[in-house]
A and B are shown apart, each in its own frame.
Chain A
Amino acid sequence: MQITLKNLVRTYENVHAVEGVSLSIPSNQIFGIIGLSGAGKSTLVRLVSLLEKPDSGEVWYDDKRVDNLPEKEIILRRRRIGMIFQNFNLFSSRTAGQNVAYPMEINRYSKDRIKSRIAELMELVGLSDRIDAPISTLSGGQKQRVAIARALACEPDILFCDEATSALDPKTTQSILKLIKDIQRKMNLTVVMITHQMEVVRDACDRVAVLSDGNVVEEGLVKDIFAHPKSKVTKEFLSHLTTNNRTVTEDGMVMWSNEIAHYVLRFMPDKVDSPIISEIVKSYNVDFNIIGAGTQVVDTERFGTMVCNITGDSASVALSIQDLQHRGIIVEEVNQ
């Protein structure tokens, strides 16, 4: 299912608005929409998922315009849209399995079909043993898994993920992203991920659109955006990127690879006038693969920071690290 947005406008008195968004979201891909809070993400997702009507502009699913459908048809169309949320939004009055049953109940599936489908879906999300569990007994990650099972119950062709991992810890985030990726491939879904986390875009999305003040400021393949960010907002997002649980504390970090880094070097301001790296490369025969660099404030102190991998035989690597430290550079090894 390809989604096309044509010059969508939705303004409110004091809520963040969408001011003329045109986007083409290709079929069978994971498409990220990233923006800071207030960029208009929530409004945009409400428009695209047909929860709200735009002031002007059009929403197309494949070659059918859907934003102007009568209410009855909109309701029917929504039944083929899956959506998951930051706060999971599960029904606390129902067990995990009954939550998955809800969309099938309103779609008038037969009891038997609902039952077998619950088993199928709960297995897909790895929670076969929690079908009868009350929602409050589930962890955040498990809740999101139930929400995913519920979203997929009626075989949707689109899955919207509205900040779906924002309430989860990094490890759970990874496992949920992996699940979404697996499901996307298995079910040929068009997935739209709305997020403010660049890691989510990096780890899960094929394409991304950057939203700022209600406008799309940049759109393209994730790898291109990471390599050549054009807008200021995008650069800022990249600078906030969490590298292996290490959040960059101030602007100015530029990452040019999403490879996993093993070392973070911190240069004191008075140590940056000699070609240290180059000297070390020559004397120990090691290679530096620089993944990102910039200036950062850590504990009120301003550092030049470099995120890199050092490769070579392990003895040389150890020696070169020793030498770096000797020269007054702080070397932090990143624990995987």
Chain B
Amino acid sequence: MNITPALWRLIFQSTLQTFQMVGLSTLFSVILGLPLGILLCVTSPLNQGGLKPKPVLNEILSRIVNILRSFPFIILIIVLFPLSRIIVGTAIGTKATIVPLSIAAAPFVARLVETSLKEVDPGVIQAAKTMGSTNRQIVFKVMLPEALPSLIAGLTLTIINLIGYSAMAGAVGGGGLGDLAIRYGYQRFRTDVLFVAVIIILVLVELIQFIGNKISANMMKRR
């Protein structure tokens, strides 16, 4: 190990970039994925708990989600280069990577949200209906709160996936710890830098999982 202070600073910067990428892409993927997931659930057939079945819309949304999810991420980044250029003005760097990361994670979030909402006890939804709830009230006052522990678990999973994806984005100049590991650890044979980068990613993943589990468990305890 012979890491100079300058290199440490670089590692620190890369970690911050990873935080930025993961944090913002989590935010945007939830902004995109949560409504999409709700829509997927609400428009699904009656026997699957759909509040307002819309078979055609459901099928179209479902297909889009599946296509996006089956795209290998590395290809998705390249395909989305033009979009990144339009949105953030460049196709390289941390900010540019947030675009493909969010778009890759959004369908994943949508499916997680859909599954969580469909797991809500149909009896509880029936009760809400008999009390004269509108569909909007059922979604926001019943389904989302009832599904919250499961949604938190899904969010944890999303963040962890995004940490992995963000490292992959390093391969095409995305910045962050993955980028550092490839440029220094692989291309310049600095195994020590690679090692440090991997350790930081590992600790991050463990930490997120721990916090997520804690929040979920705490929520369940109060029910």
Number of B residues whose C-beta is below 8 Å from A? Answer: 20
**Which residues of chain B from 160 to 178 have a CB within 8 Å of any chain A CB?**
none
The answer to whether A37 has its CB under 8 Å from any CB of chain B is: no
Range of interface residues on chain A? 20 to 34
With both beta carbons as reference points, the residue of chain B lying nearest to A154 in the complex is identified as B131
With both beta carbons as reference points, the residue of chain A lying nearest to B146 in the complex is identified as A93
The answer to whether A284 has its CB under 8 Å from any CB of chain B is: no
Stretch at the interface among B19-27, B91-99, B119-127, B202-210: B119-127
Stretch at the interface among A75-83, A228-236, A310-318: A75-83
Contact B130 A102 (CB under 8 A): no
Contact A91 B146 (CB under 8 A): yes
Q: A51-B129, A83-B131, A85-B123 are in contact. List 10 more A-B contacts (CB 8 A).
A: A78-B131, A78-B132, A79-B132, A81-B130, A85-B126, A89-B127, A93-B146, A103-B131, A106-B141, A134-B223
Known: A134-B222, A134-B223, A135-B223. A92 touches B130 (CB 8 A): no
Give the number of residue pairs across the A-B interface with Cβ within 8 Å: 65
Q: Which of B121, B130, B133, B141 contacts A83 (CB 8 A)?
A: B130
Contact A51 B126 (CB under 8 A): yes
CA separation between A103 and B130, bound complex, in Å? 10
Main secondary structure of the interface of B (DSSP, over half): helix
Chain A residues with CB under 8 A of B134: 75, 106
Contact B124 A106 (CB under 8 A): no
Contact B223 A89 (CB under 8 A): no
The answer to whether A87 has its CB under 8 Å from any CB of chain B is: yes
Chain B residues with CB under 8 A of A106: 131-134, 137, 141
Most buried by A among B131, B137, B142: B131
Q: Which of A92, A93, A102 contacts B131 (CB 8 A)?
A: A102
Contact A87 B129 (CB under 8 A): no
